[in-house]
Amino acid sequence: MSNRHLLRSVAMQSLFQWDFMGGPSAIMPAIIDQNVAEFAPGMKDAEFAHELVDGVLKHQHEIDTLIQKYAPQWPLDQITNVDRNVLRLGTFELQYAETIPAKVAINEAIELAKTFGGQSSGRFVNGVLGAMYKDMVATGSLKPIDRQPVTA
């Protein structure tokens, strides 16, 4: 498992815990540090988990609005805690993380959903993030990293 994938798992678990506790963002750094120590001890680039979570919290309103737009039949409070936070993390990486290509963001979110979610979580996350990405392509609102030609 790559370091970044493991730290995405830590970020998702931290968001899950934060969401479950009712969202007290002041304790988030301690939650992340505890989860890094427990699930990724000795990780050199643990700051990546903090950056992901900070980004999700900074853009939470916009992220939640996007999730509601692309999953209209699922009110946010009816999406499972795992799927909701995988979608928040995936949406952050897809829409706002300038150094993470869209396809990486979507693939990582699907893998997290398959690992931590229910039987249909991977398909659900793929459908929501895939629809977001299609609209980004259609409207020309891709991040600069996604506009670069792919080289072999």
Distance CA(122)–CA(7), nearest Å, equals: 19
The model's confidence at residue 1, banded by pLDDT at 50, 70 and 90, is low
The model's confidence at residue 27, banded by pLDDT at 50, 70 and 90, is confident
- pLDDT digits over 29-67, tens only? 999 999 999 999 988 888 999 999 999 999 999 999 999
Report, at the CATH architecture level, how domain 3-147 is classified.
Answer: Orthogonal Bundle (1.10)
Quote the pTM value.
0.93
Q: What is the pLDDT of residue 139?
A: 95
Closest CA to 86 of 58, 118, 38, 61: 118
- pLDDT digits over 10-21, tens only? 999 999 999 998
The model's confidence at residue 150, banded by pLDDT at 50, 70 and 90, is low
Closest CA to 116 of 28, 19, 33, 16: 16
Does 152 have pLDDT greater than 70?
no
Does 149 have pLDDT greater than 80?
no
Closest CA to 86 of 122, 35, 54, 119: 122
In the chain, where are the structural domains located?
A: 3-147
- pLDDT digits over 77-136, tens only? 999 999 999 999 999 999 999 999 999 999 999 999 999 999 999 999 999 999 999 999
Distance CA(125)–CA(101), nearest Å, equals: 17
Q: Which residues contact 93 (CB under 8 A, 6 or more apart)?
A: 52, 100, 104, 105, 108, 109
CA–CA distance from 82 to each of 18, 141, 142, 149 (Å)? Answer: 11, 28, 27, 34
Which position has the token pair 């680039």?
Answer: 45
